[in-house]
Structure 1
Amino acid sequence: MSPRTGRPTQNKKTERLEIRLTPEEAQRLEKCAQKMQASKTEVINEGVKLLEKKLEQ
């Protein structure tokens, strides 16, 4: 069996980020993820996009 699994992608995600959160911050992130029906990574990426737009103004 091939060691590669999953679907091939053109947008490879090779960078890792580890963060430390307070329990309250972790709870807020989890709540957002549940409401958006998205992963925590997707929530964080969406937040970064919103900040980029705000900073461009």
Structure 2
Amino acid sequence: MAAMKIGTKLTDNPKDYMLRTRLDKKTLQKLDAVALEKATTRSEIVRIGIEMQYDKMFQSDKK
């Protein structure tokens, strides 16, 4: 097994893919407000939003 680099974060769910998007000022302000209120990162808020939309879409298929 190869030695881990110093500073490498260990996680059960590595984030190997990067998504880049363009936002208008108002949307970015909303994203920052939510991240600040939840004490988390922009990335985590986006991941939560994706999960919510995915669950919403596919939960209705199960009914």
- What TM-score do the two structures reach when normalised by structure 1? 0.83
Percent identity over paired residues: 21
Distance in 2 (CA, whole Å) between partners of 1:54 and 1:21 is 23
Structure 2 unaligned residues grouped into runs of 5+: none
CA drift of 1:14 comes to: 1.2
Q: Deviations over 1:1-56 (max 9, x none)?
A: x8822332232211111100000010000000011111000100110111011101
- What TM-score do the two structures reach when normalised by structure 2? 0.76
Q: How many residue pairs align between the two structures?
A: 56
Rg comparison, structure with higher value = 2
- Structure 1 runs of 4+ aligned residues shifted over 6 Å read none
Structure 1 unaligned residues grouped into runs of 5+: none
